[in-house]
Amino acid sequence: MKFLHKLLLLIFFLSFFPACRSGSNDERIITVGREDCDYTSLREAVEAFSDDWDRIVLMDDLTIESGIDITKEVTISGRGMKKTILAGGETAEEAEDRIFFVKSEGRLILEDLSVTNGRPYGLHRCGGAIASQGFVRLERVRIADNQAVYGVGIWNEGEMEIYDSLIENNTGLRLTTAEVKDATGCTGSGGGIKNEPGGVMTIKDTTIRGNTAMRRGGGVFVSCESQTVIDNCLIEENYASYKGGAIHVRGDLTLVNTRIVNNDSRTGYGGILNKGRLEFEDNIIKSNGKFDFALGDSESGIYGKGIVIRDENNRIGIDNRREN
């Protein structure tokens, strides 16, 4: 009877701590976490990862690491957005760097986890969670509570795919006095995401909310000579100090079946400001500051005041086709 009692207690105790080895028998995985895992450091696991392995699995509820460079193809998985958190620090202020930098030769696939509390330092303070010049795919990933000057949550200069994810509560920082004086900083656009020139990005079935930018594009900033597709997404409650509380467009944007609501900016251009080339259909755009939609003037953007290639079945609250 005593043995049975002890066995039941052991089973109960272990139920709170998943086995470090997970996945199917045919899957080749590296585990990161407690001392009985393959590695206690994600950085070490990434360095060891090769074609001999299928994925890295984070086993702990919370892993605190930052400054991880990706120079090869790596897949990192968790056990869900709420169950697996990869953080730069207990808070973003305590982080030593952004979480991931994907170099041009790197390929990073993230699944079923949250990436939070990243904050880059140094010359280019972009991409609090991820800065990428390579390839990135996010599936069921939460990018939240990161800080940077521009491209606050995600900064992309390569190819990126985002599916069924959540980009929220990323906060833009002001340039320091030294950055302004030395002209080494970049203006703070793209609170949730910034797609830079040359970047190609697809965002599908994703929520982008509660992000802030010190300049333009509280939710998303689409730079000139970049291509972005946003499909079946919710973009809400983002804020930009200047123009385009939800989205600021200077490149090519295809926007489909997306709801854009309750975004704002200090200037009143709370919805979409288009200075690029826009194709959009089946969208709801309303309750976004003074203007839900506006075209820019000829001061900037590769298409001058902005071009609408296709406009079909869009429900727009306050439509101002000329920026004032």
3-class DSSP string for 59-120: CCCEEECCCEEECCEEEEECCCCCCCEEECCCCHHHCCCCCEEECCCCEEEEEEEEEECCCC
The domain made up of 29-321 has a fold known as Pectate Lyase C-like (2.160.20)
DSSP labels for 221-254?
EE-TT-EEEEES-EEES-EESSS-SSEEESSEEE
pLDDT bucket at 299, cuts 50 / 70 / 90: very low
Distance between CA 293 and CA 271 in Å, rounded?
A: 6
Checking if the pLDDT of 13 tops 50, the result is no
- Compute the distance between CA of residue 322 and CA of residue 295 in angstroms, rounded to an integer: 5
Judged against a pLDDT cut of 90, whether residue 90 lies above it is answered with yes
Output 44 or 9, whichever has higher pLDDT.
Answer: 44
- Within 10 angstroms of residue 82's Cβ, the number of other Cβ atoms is 12
pLDDT(7) > 80: no
Q: What is the mean pLDDT of the chain?
A: 88
CB atoms within 10 A of CB 211: 32
Q: Considering only residues 188 and 36, tell me which one the structure prediction assigns the higher pLDDT.
A: 36
Does pLDDT of 322 surpass 90? no
Mean pLDDT of 243-249: 96
What are 33's two structure tokens? Answer: 């976490």
- In the numeric block, the tokens 């309303």 are attached to 286
Return all residues near 90 (Cβ < 8 A) that are at least 6 apart: 64, 117
- Give the residues across from 222 on adjacent strands: 195, 249
pLDDT tens digits along 252-279 = 999 999 999 999 999 889 999 999 999 9
Please give the average per-residue pLDDT across 292-316, as a whole number. Answer: 78
Can you read off the two tokens belonging to residue 270?
Answer: 């709370």
Q: Which of 267, 249, 253, 273 is nearest to 322 (CA)?
A: 273
pLDDT for the residue 6: 47
The answer to whether 280 and 311 have CB atoms below 8 angstroms apart is: yes
In this model, does residue 17 exceed pLDDT 80?
no
State the average pLDDT over residues 88-96.
Answer: 92
CA angle 271–114–146, rounded 5-degree value:
55
pLDDT over threshold 50, residue 8: no
Query: Quick one: which of 216, 210, 191 has its CA closest to 269?
Result: 216
- HSE-up of residue 28 (Cα within 13 Å, Cβ side): 7
76, 109 in Cβ contact below 8 A? yes
2 sits in which H/E element: helix 2-14
Asked if the model's pLDDT at residue 191 lies above 90, the reply is yes
Q: Say yes or no to pLDDT of 227 above 90.
A: yes
In whole angstroms, what is the distance from residue 129 CA to residue 115 CA? 6
Q: Name the least confident of 12-26, 77-91, 214-228.
A: 12-26
